[in-house]
A and B are shown apart, each in its own frame.
Chain A
């Protein structure tokens, strides 16, 4: 089965708190790609990051960081010092090189950052 699970449906934090969004995926393929997208209240889907299955190097971009661990099939996303503008639904997604690139999305985690 090819599946993405975001077990956290909703998370609420207070501004400046750190928050981690969990993503667990299932696949038997050895070559795959993982993504995070953000959907703010305005509705558009914004690309945040792509990771390849053969590159487990973790990444930090400003207040965002991503932890990819093949051993646990997880690709978690952390926001440091959260801000109200981070309030959005965050989607983790999976795609495969030999399947035309279609994205398989998780159900999303709604993050609410309160002032």
Chain B
């Protein structure tokens, strides 16, 4: 158990809908990362937050947005869903030791868009 929690574990929805994925980082971790794992794209970085502020952005679609709240939990919002958004979405939080950072991943949310 990494200490990172994600809810829900599974989500089935229809095209055009909007969903929210939730992540709670490990106690004390200030950074939260979101990744998408799909069969065709593999594991791709979406976005990073550090202590409530957006720090880095990857290949995140405009239909997707995220935020990190004062209690450090994060939410990833996916809207106008398409079939191709079906994927496993991971959240990770990181511990920094000096200049070295290690990310620990949650169990993922498996999204199926029908």
Tell me the interface secondary structure of chain B in the complex.
strand
Please give, as numbers and ranges, the residues of chain A lying within 8 Å of B45 by CB-CB distance.
Answer: 102-104
Bound state CA distance, A44 and B43, in angstroms? Answer: 13
| 25 chain-A/chain-B pairs, Cβ below 8 angstroms | A31-B99, A33-B100, A35-B102, A37-B105, A43-B88, A43-B108, A43-B110, A44-B105, A44-B108, A46-B2, A47-B102, A47-B105, A50-B100, A50-B102, A52-B100, A91-B43, A101-B48, A101-B101, A102-B58, A103-B43, A103-B103, A105-B43, A105-B44, A107-B42, A108-B42
In angstroms, how far is the closest chain B Cβ from the Cβ of A36?
12
A-B contact count (CB 8 A): 61
**Is A101 in contact with B107, judged by CB distance below 8 angstroms?**
no
**Chain A interface (Cβ < 8 Å from any Cβ of B):** 31, 33, 35, 37, 43-47, 50, 52, 91, 95, 97, 99-108
Within 8 A of A (CB), among B31-80: 31, 33, 35, 42-45, 48, 50, 55-56, 58
Bound state CA distance, A44 and B92, in angstroms? Answer: 11
Bound state CA distance, A102 and B104, in angstroms? Answer: 12
Partner of B103, one of A43, A44, A47, A99: A47
Bound state CA distance, A17 and B48, in angstroms? Answer: 40
For the complex of A and B, 10 pairs with smallest distance between CB atoms: A100-B56, A45-B105, A105-B43, A102-B45, A101-B101, A44-B107, A100-B55, A107-B42, A100-B48, A50-B102
